[in-house]
Amino acid sequence: MKRTEIAVFAGGCFWGVEHLMAQQNGVLDIQCGYTGGHVPQPNYEQVCSGHTGHYEAVRILFDPQTVSYETLAKLFFEIHDPTQSDGQGPDVGAQYRSAIFYTSQTQKNTAQNLIEILKSRGYPVVTQLLPLEHFWPAEDYHQHYYQRTGTQPYCHRRMKRFD
């Protein structure tokens, strides 16, 4: 039986994060959804209202024998701007905040170490580290958006920040 792990990242619009993370070898499944708020089973309109506390996020099922959590977290920090609070590019709002929702102390420690590396390189990182409590999948029309439409992310581009 193959051992798998879960990683959850929020870095602006979940479409771009999903699209770019899905290209990483070792990612077995990826899903857009909502996490971090206080409203159970929220929908897109509720989350966009700014009153649920939720983040747009992606939940990644990955094979740790193929790709490490550290590799995924580094990619996350390179495909969004971890220094921008309350949004990414033209997308502004609480649901677009930068956060890593960890599922273990090891994930938290790895993410904290990467944040410290970025800060030592002059990046004023605002990414929050929060324990994952619940993840609610987004509506079907949000899943694999760029793959289905044949378009590219407009607010996510890879910028190398690690060696």
Residue among 122, 123, 34 at smallest CA distance from 77 = 123
Show the tokens assigned to 79: 């495909």
Cα 39 to the center of its chain, rounded Å: 19
Clarify whether 13 is annotated catalytic.
yes
Cβ atoms of residues 153 and 88 within 8 Å:
no
Three-class secondary structure assignment of 117-146: HHHHCCCCCCCEEEECCCEEECCHHHCCHH
- AA letter at 130: L
Q: Residue 18 burial (CB < 10 Å; 0-12/13-18/19+)?
A: buried
- CA-based nearest residue to 32, from 137, 150, 141: 137
Q: Please list the active-site residues.
A: 13
